Structure formats: C-alpha cells, structure tokens
Amino acid sequence: MTRPDDPPVFAATLTPQRSLTGRGLRLAALVLVAGGGAVAALFLVLGAWPVAGFVGVELALVLGLLLMHHRLGRTTVEEVVLHAHALTVTRRRGGRSVARWEFPPGWLRVSVVEDEHGRAAGVLLASHGRRLAIGRFLSREEQTELAAALRAALAAWRAPAMLAC
C-alpha cells in the first residue's frame, strides 16, 4: 500500500485534448442558432413552415451533442503516480474518484497497445495477470512519450535494487 508521506517517484495527470473552451462553445452555439434561425425565417417567409420545426429540432440535437461532448471532455482525468511501494492509477470524473488501481512496480510491464486496425489504443500496464489500459484519449505520440517516461521512472526505481544484488 502507498503511504501518504511517500514522495512520488513519477507523477502524470492525463486529460483529454479539447479544442473548444467554454467561450468557444458559446460562440459556436451562437453561430449555429443565428444560421439556423435565418434558414427557419426564410422558409417561414416562403410558406414552408414545417421546415422551421425541423430546423429547430436539428439545432437542439446539435447543441445537445456539443454540450455533452464538452462536459465529458473536461471531466475525465487519469492520475498515474509511482511511489516507493506501488504504482497507482486513479480515474476521476467530475472531481470525484471513479476507480483506483494499484500495481507492484517490481514486475510492472508498460507497452503501447494497438487496436485491430493498427491505431494506438492506450498504454497498457500489466503485472501478475492484471491489465489496465490508460491514456486511450491521447495521440500515438503522446502515448509513446508516456510509456517511455514511465519505463524510465520504473528503471530508476529498480536501479537501487539492482545495485544491491
């Protein structure tokens, strides 16, 4: 078990990349509503009033999806911390801990895994028959950098044990 007074050997906080900030989301919504409103007004003037209803439904659907995507993107966080006795991974959603895993660092294997189409599917942590993929939302380059940094931290952690042999 990790002790709260142990200084971390390695720590990383992984968050998904989102291109829209809150202000950008409001601006995109404003542009969509203005454009949809203009189209709906045009069809109302032309006498095709049912089209205005369909435009309203489409706008509500698109804005709902944008909002849901924005909320999901800012709430998922993975924290990877290597202490003297364990590597812990904590997945948080909205500030509360969703799940927590601990691995013994002595036998931990770190690799970048690919899906069936050859795309990077996460950094795989494996030890004693337990496996966990982290950083699935990162790009291939970021996953490779995370795996290399974690391997280097594990090698540094193991180095004193190797010198004692």
Rounded distance between C-alpha atoms, residue 25 and residue 17, angstroms: 15
Residues in the chain: 165
Q: Do 39 and 68 belong together in one domain?
A: yes
Is position 11 within any domain?
no
Q: Output the pLDDT for position 165.
A: 52
Is position 44 within any domain?
yes
Which residue type, as a one-letter code, is found at position 127? S
Is position 13 within any domain?
no
Is position 30 within any domain?
yes
Rounded distance between C-alpha atoms, residue 161 and residue 84, angstroms: 12
Is position 4 within any domain?
no
Q: Output the pLDDT for position 3.
A: 56
* Boundary (domain end) residue, out of 52, 73, 94: 73
Strands (E), 68-156: 76-82, 87-93, 96-103, 109-114, 120-127, 130-134
Q: Output the pLDDT for position 117.
A: 81
Q: Output the pLDDT for position 18.
A: 73
Domain count for the chain, please give it.
2
Q: Do 57 and 98 belong together in one domain?
A: no
What's the domain range around 101? 83-164
Please enumerate, as own/partner, the contacts of 53-62 that have beta carbons within 8 Å and a separation of 24 or more: 59/32, 59/33, 62/32
Q: Do 66 and 125 belong together in one domain?
A: no
First to last CA, the chain: 24
Q: Do 106 and 146 belong together in one domain?
A: yes
Q: Do 97 and 132 belong together in one domain?
A: yes
Rounded distance between C-alpha atoms, residue 1 and residue 103, angstroms: 10
Q: Tell me which DSSP letter residue 129 carries.
A: T
| Distances 129 to 91, 132, 137, 147 between C-alpha atoms, Å | 20, 10, 24, 19
Instruction: List the pLDDT tens digit at each of the 165 positions of the chain.
Output: 555 566 888 999 898 777 777 888 899 999 999 999 999 999 999 999 999 999 999 999 999 998 888 777 666 788 999 988 899 999 887 666 688 999 998 889 999 988 888 777 889 999 988 999 999 888 889 999 999 999 999 998 888 655 555
